[in-house]
Amino acid sequence: AVVLRHFALTYETVIFAALTDVVGQAPFRHMVTPGGFQMSAAMTSCGGFGWLADRTGYRYNTTDPQTGLPWPPLPDALLRLGIEAATAAGYPSFVPDACLINRYAVGAKMSLHQDKDEPDLGAPIVSVSLGLPANFQFGGLRREDKPLRVQLTHGDVVVWGGPARLYFHGVLPIKDGVHPLTGAFRINLTFRKVSK
């Protein structure tokens, strides 16, 4: 697992243009977990697959259930960012086919979890942080493993794969603040390879 500080900063303008386009087609929504809890982060996706949570479970789908349409395509600038960050972290053959977009308002969080809905665990996860800072937790293979706490700020990228691919991770509640580009939000993009 690698933290690439500020890696996404040079992509900032193209990222926000791409996000405006994606969110116009597939708006942010709060999903409900199988346990019946509404997730505090609002989500959407782009690429060939989008991630979904509902009362029946967690999965990827090629269409957005909210619109009935395919998820918006993965914008070329985002695809390049995902590939270049993975390459910089030592995963030169990574080609993402999905990007999950999380939007955290102040107080929103993500509990410790594993990213395990992707069939090909040989591909890493590439995570891009934008806007308000986050305290990211990065643990081990067992939920009980004491997580490291890493502060992630605008433009930081985290990549994890190989033996760390299934490590538990999460986000502590976002602290109050204002960022010049995102206002009172943190945005996180995770690039994933979902096809086998």
Position of minimal CB gap to Fe ion: 115
What are residue 158's DSSP bridge partners? 3, 127
- Shortest Cβ 39–Fe ion spacing (Å): 12
Position of minimal CB gap to ligand SIN: 188
C-alpha 130, offset from chain centre: 11
Rounded to a whole number of angstroms, the distance between the first and last alpha carbons of the chain is 22
Q: Which of ligand SIN, Fe ion, none does residue 137 bind to, with CB < 5 to 8 Å depending on kind?
A: none
Please state, as a whole number, how many other Cβ atoms lie within 10 Å of the Cβ of residue 51: 24
The binding site for ligand SIN (CB under 6 A) comprises 102, 110, 127, 134, 136, 169, 171, 188, 190
Please state, as a whole number, how many other Cβ atoms lie within 10 Å of the Cβ of residue 173: 14
Evaluate whether 129 touches 188 at the Cβ level (below 8 Å): yes
Q: Give whichever of 14 and 164 is closer to Fe ion, judged by the CB atom.
A: 164
Evaluate whether 42 touches 28 at the Cβ level (below 8 Å): yes
Q: Give whichever of 57 and 68 is closer to ligand SIN, judged by the CB atom.
A: 57
Q: Give whichever of 182 and 190 is closer to ligand SIN, judged by the CB atom.
A: 190
115 lies in the binding site for Fe ion (CB under 5 A):
yes
Evaluate whether 132 touches 107 at the Cβ level (below 8 Å): no
Q: Which of ligand SIN, Fe ion, none does residue 127 bind to, with CB < 5 to 8 Å depending on kind?
A: ligand SIN
Interface residues with Fe ion (CB under 5 A) are 115
